[in-house]
Amino acid sequence: MADYDRRGGGGYNPKKRRYRDDDEGDRRGGPRRRFDAPPHVRVRKQLLAIAENPMRPWHEEVLSIANLFTDNWEDELLRTNFVDLILQLAVEQPMKTPFLAAVVLVANTNKPQIVDILLAKLTSTLETKIAEGDWRDVKLYLKLAGCLQSCLEGDGVFPVLEDLFSRAVDLQTASSEDTIGTELVKIILLTLPYVMVTGPTQWQQKAADLMEKTEIIAGEAHPLQTLIEPYHPEAGDESPVASQSFISLLQSQLQNEANNGWALTCLPRPWELPVEEVEQQEKIANAEKHTLPPVDIPQTVVAGPRPLFPEIYFSVYVNQDVESTPPLTNIAASLIRDALIDTINVLNFNRNVTARFLIELDCYFAPRTFAARATPFDKIREIEPPKSSWKPEDVAVDAVFSQLFSLPNPEHKLVYYHAVLTEACKLAPAAIAPSLGRAIRFLFRNSHRMDLELSNRFMDWFSHHLSNFGFTWKWTEWVDNVYLSNLHPDKAFIMGAIDKEIRLSFAQRIKNTLPEPYQSLIGPEKEKDVPDFKFADERTPFAAEGKEIAALLRRKAPEEEIEPVIERIHSLALDNSLDPLVASTDVFVTSVLHVGSKSLSHVLAAIERTKERLTDAGATSEAARTQIISSVMEYWSAHPGVAIAIIEKLLNYSILTPQAVINWAITTYAGATRGEALARGFVYEMVFNTVIKVTSRLRQVLQKATLPEAMIDDETIEAEINGMRSLFRAIDDALVAWATGSKDEMIEASDSLGEGDGNSETEKLVKRWGERWLRVFKRRAAIEEAFIVEARKERERKAAAAAAEPTAEAPAPADNMVVDTGDVATEATV
């Protein structure tokens, strides 16, 4: 009974009552007591959702939030949360910045103290971000300050912009290859429109003077710009659009806008209230002005956590007969793109929210900036000026692709941008899918002109995207390309995409989604779950030994039982004038792969058990290392994705060296196929992944070396740097031979065909592939060299800062302190 009492209280449990007592009958059906959330919760909820509802006018939301805030001014928690949330939203949801500023401007009419509190914290945070080199946050905080320009005293934000420009000039004067100065000028130019939209007539002269200065830097092409051009057309061909740097484009657009009186028609003005709110509008105009606290910009600024490179304006909707995105002459092209890119990259932790912001893009810009959502492209043709023909879906998709095809590297992993497009397509399939279809067709038409790295990114995204939507695509549009040479870029793209699709599914399913002409691209060997074991055929040399080793490996026999079989292979190889080590390596590696063919985990377990023998074989000679790679690629030839994964594991185990992988791919295998291997996506993938593995390791070493407690000596650092440089030299030497047609295999092929002049179509295509490969890895080498320079500067800077700090054992002398000089005690005044 005691236990029962403890559990339920002795027989009466109000939670289990099925019927009310009689005395409660008069309360049945009465209204439930309403619970009102505290003011700070309601303000937070409304601020987070501001401008998201297209059915509610902006001014109603702004006035509602501002009045709720000022009516509860005495709530200290509300005041603190309000300021923190405004600054947080300005960074995390930058498209809402003008609306946040409007709430602050309305609140300023009743409680002007809030503006002083906000500005104090804004400038303090701004100084911290400048010192850290977090330039995106600097830009977004200045954007908020620019939207508050109308309530600032004096010149408002302009002194801060002038100081930033002074630093930019100093940096550019010191080095023409500096990227921080270019980034500062970009921040200035992107802040100006938000300042001017608050009062275009008042600040025209200040803006004109500042833009005259920025023209010096913005108008000059950056030396690194040629490395990051998205298009690399061959001689005699043209890019689909003239490439323009983002900063020079922005400068010219702002100049056009200045000539038109700073109309800035795309930017919202939520602080401009309708006629019925004329009294409130007068209050905003006559509200108290505030002094922007000075912002201290250090003499030495740092690049920050994100590497800085010049930006190229990239679009997949150029040269259309109807403008579905803002033209490059319009400032809207840059302002909308900038806000979208910031939203995409800041919200990388939640792809679903990011996709929703993309879909609701038109909520955050001026009315009539865009056409109605999901308007078919055919209907866009019928829209007549002054109505806008800009499709919000095209603008959003264009922004994502600009990041997906950003060189040298996008800010986040490529799969994040894949996921954003997938989620957007799921949220609004009728609107997004047609836009993606036109983007895919544009990219395919120009894939042979694109930088090879971008072409492979397109292939990866295309196959990944199809895998999320049943692998359906209108393959009949490209059917003519099936009959082209395997060296043709369009045929190479199709073959690479189908291979990636098979990796994400299985061969038979992909085969069923393809029209008849494509069926031949998927051979019967791709439909096998496990490749054939070549030593099962008695006609294969060393067949008996191969089967015997496989059986020994399968029962996990000790090394002592395997060694006699290996010795027998060596003896047979010598009798047939073969390299004994190469022969035994082929038999052993193929047997290991066959035993572990059930799954990747099985093969890793098999490699782990035989790692010692594999390591010894790889360390013996270059020929043995090459044979290890050849055996892996031959066994998994039908599924190169599996082969690449195994090669990467062998690199991790140090069984293979990066140099061996590069030599096999660009020299051995490419030579055996007379250059055709350069057109195969998996070969590029293998080489590219190997290079990334080497450069990532070097970066880790350099970054650790900058830490105070680093235990990495200079000798180790130099060894890593020299290893990377040696790898890039080997790649360069091999690719130059292919790109210039001086490779022995190319000369022999031309002679055998009687076309020794090097003008055959096949040779032209091989040269073109060599040029495209060469450009990718020259850029990679240049990027890593730049990283090495910056890492050394950072290490020296930290070392100097540490040396300048007083130590605990030798404190800095105080005023009028007696200092012992060793001979006599003298009074030193510091």
Identify the H or E element spanning 257: helix 246-259
Give the whole-number percent of the chain exceeding pLDDT 90.
Answer: 75
Cα end-to-end distance, the chain, whole Å: 83
User: pLDDT (tens digit, 9 = 90+) per residue, 150-194?
Assistant: 999 999 999 999 999 999 999 888 887 788 999 999 999 999 999
The dihedral through the CA atoms of 251, 255, 256, 260 has a sign that is: positive
pLDDT exceeds cutoff 80 at 86: yes
Question: Could you give the CA distance from residue 67 to residue 111 in angstroms, rounded to a whole number?
Answer: 10
The pTM for the full model equals: 0.90
Copy the structure tokens of residue 547.
Answer: 């089967």
| pLDDT of the residue at 757 | 52
Q: Is residue 592 exposed (0-12), middle (13-18) or buried (19+ Cβ within 10 Å)?
A: buried
Q: Which of 42-46, 618-622, 783-787, 803-807 has the lowest mean pLDDT?
A: 803-807
In three-state secondary structure terms, 406 is: coil
User: pLDDT (tens digit, 9 = 90+) per residue, 607-652?
Assistant: 999 999 999 999 988 999 999 999 999 999 999 999 999 999 999 9
Q: Is residue 124 left, alpha or beta, with left meaning phi > 0 and alpha meaning psi from -120 to 50?
A: alpha
Q: Is residue 594 left, alpha or beta, with left meaning phi > 0 and alpha meaning psi from -120 to 50?
A: alpha
Mean pLDDT value of segment 113-121? 96
Give the whole-number percent of the chain exceeding pLDDT 70.
Answer: 90
In three-state secondary structure terms, 219 is: coil
pLDDT band at 53 (very low <50, low <70, confident <90, very high): very high
Question: Could you give the CA distance from residue 668 to residue 520 in angstroms, rounded to a whole number?
Answer: 27
| pLDDT of the residue at 33 | 61
In three-state secondary structure terms, 73 is: coil
pLDDT exceeds cutoff 60 at 753: no
**Which residue shows structure tokens 């250090």?**
298
Please name the residue ranges forming H helices in 742-760.
744-752
Mean pLDDT value of segment 303-330? 90
Mean pLDDT of the residues in the chain: 88
| pLDDT of the residue at 731 | 96
**Which residue shows structure tokens 């019967």?**
524
Mean pLDDT value of segment 420-432? 96
| pLDDT of the residue at 1 | 39
| pLDDT of the residue at 745 | 67
User: pLDDT (tens digit, 9 = 90+) per residue, 523-564?
Assistant: 999 999 899 999 999 999 999 999 999 999 999 999 899 999
